[in-house]
Amino acid sequence: MKLAVVVQRYGHAINGGAELHARYIAERLARHAQVEVLTSCATDYITWRNDLPEGLEQLNGVTIRRFRVKHERDPEAFGRLQDRVFDETHSIADEIDWLDAEGPTSPALIDHIARHAGDHDFWIFFSYRYYHAYYGSRAAGPRAVLVPTAERDETIGLSIFAPMFRSVRALMYNSPEERLMIQSVSGNESVPGVVVGVGSDVPQNPQPARFRAKYNLRGPFAIYVGRIDENKGCPELFEFFQGYAKSTQGRLTLVLVGNSVLPIPKHPRIRHFGFLDDADKFDAMAAADLLIMPSYYESLSMVTLEAWALGKPALVNAKCDVLKAQCIRSNAGLYYESFAEFVEALSALERQRWLSVSLGRNGRQFFRDHYDWSVIERKYLDMFDRLRKEPAAARTEHDPGWLDRRRETIPPAREVLAKLPKGPALGSAGVSSNTGDPGRKRA
């Protein structure tokens, strides 16, 4: 079997969620099939500057084929277009302009896919929101499999993506919430889909004491791992944690791991260690008492899964449906919607040792049952088997004409998003259904 993985960025030092997800999947599937990765030369997701050389290279047994990005992103023009499509009634042409402005605009990559569509059994596209996935999935035709990594943000409300969700051969979802959201916005219940997620190479024997010694860290601490960014809910985390430190007798310190694009408050109990390599990161997580995940938008949160794999409980932002639902499904974490809940939940996890241990144990079991690599690989291979056996449905949707593309009748994406169902998709959140699941419900 020959597979192609298409993703916006790829490399050892690239740690974006979807990019890491793609790398893990490519490297794991390389054990069962011949895998080639097609990506851009960019390493920066804001400018898409061509930092890496074009052409072929090898990484961990996977061939990588890089294509140049035609133009860098112009933040101002992109911002204007984004305001228009998110907040105003607009046209399909506006959305196409927005997509081109977002990037990474690489026509060479799309041409290559169109020319070699038949060379691979399946083309796995990561991140529905980018140029490569939109045009690439159309070029690959019935061999396109999409890993949407969709979050509950305005982009999902753009009209150009609904036909894409309906026309790909299959979708590999990260969570039941993501599946329900995409099905609600596009009506693609007939497209084969499975909730898969991603595993992680968590070390069996992390060294928490080594981390504490190396960074001179004493006492209990909560950890946040990821980009320190407004979109990740970090300002709210800082505010809540400072309130907790001020108003309670709690002894926890907040340890931040990751690159920061925000000023971090000067507080004796907030420590920032910057970007750490995997060994240090896992040591830090093993040394922590719990993980805090304050993000509003997550399609899965690999860091939370890694914390659970290490037997650590999580405290997550309940405004993110996926995180809340994962906590409820796994019984491995608490969630907060307000400052009072943050303080109470954090205090409960700090003081009630039995609770912390029980949640961590549940998390470890949840990870083993659903996110162990053997489970993930099996789900992908089962899906490919199924797709090989089933004939591809004929594509019935046609692209809108020149005039239709320019009619300003598309509602603002924010309005579309507001109409989508909210809350965790609990109930029969099965992992293998491909059609509308009547038993599924919103909590």
Residues in contact with other proteins by CB under 8 A are 176, 195, 327-335, 337-338, 340-341, 344-345, 348, 355, 358-359, 361-362, 365-366, 369-370, 375, 378-379, 428-432
DSSP labels for 328-390? HHHT-EEEESSHHHHHHHHHHHHH-HHHHHHHHHHHHHHHHHHTSHHHHHHHHHHHHHHHHHS
State which residue, 307 or 332, has the beta carbon closest to other proteins. 332
Please report how close the Cβ of residue 222 comes to other proteins at its closest, in angstroms. 17
Is the torsion defined by CA of 181, 182, 187, 190 positive or negative?
negative
Please report how close the Cβ of residue 334 comes to other proteins at its closest, in angstroms. 6
Query: Quick one: angle between helices 208-215 and 278-287, nearest 10?
Result: 100
State which residue, 137 or 362, has the beta carbon closest to other proteins. 362
Please report how close the Cβ of residue 423 comes to other proteins at its closest, in angstroms. 13
Please report how close the Cβ of residue 162 comes to other proteins at its closest, in angstroms. 26
Closest Cα to residue 170, out of 129, 239, 124?
Answer: 124
Please report how close the Cβ of residue 370 comes to other proteins at its closest, in angstroms. 6
- Note whether 309 and 371 are within 8 A (CB): yes
C-alpha distances in Å from residue 57, one per residue of 157, 206, 270, 429 = 37, 31, 41, 40
- Note whether 293 and 285 are within 8 A (CB): no
DSSP labels for 125-138? EE-TTSHHHHHHHH
State which residue, 8 or 175, has the beta carbon closest to other proteins. 175
Beta bridge partners of 122: 3
What is the greatest pairwise CA distance in the chain? 66
Please report how close the Cβ of residue 102 comes to other proteins at its closest, in angstroms. 27
State which residue, 99 or 429, has the beta carbon closest to other proteins. 429
Pairing type for strands 55-59 and 62-67 reads antiparallel
Please report how close the Cβ of residue 320 comes to other proteins at its closest, in angstroms. 15
Measured in residues, the chain has a length of: 443
Give the C-alpha separation, 432 to 6, whole Å: 24
Please tell me whether residue 319 adopts helix, strand or coil conformation.
coil
State which residue, 143 or 370, has the beta carbon closest to other proteins. 370
Please report how close the Cβ of residue 336 comes to other proteins at its closest, in angstroms. 9
State which residue, 267 or 329, has the beta carbon closest to other proteins. 329
State which residue, 48 or 366, has the beta carbon closest to other proteins. 366
Phi, psi of 58 (to 5 degrees): -120, 140
State which residue, 139 or 314, has the beta carbon closest to other proteins. 314
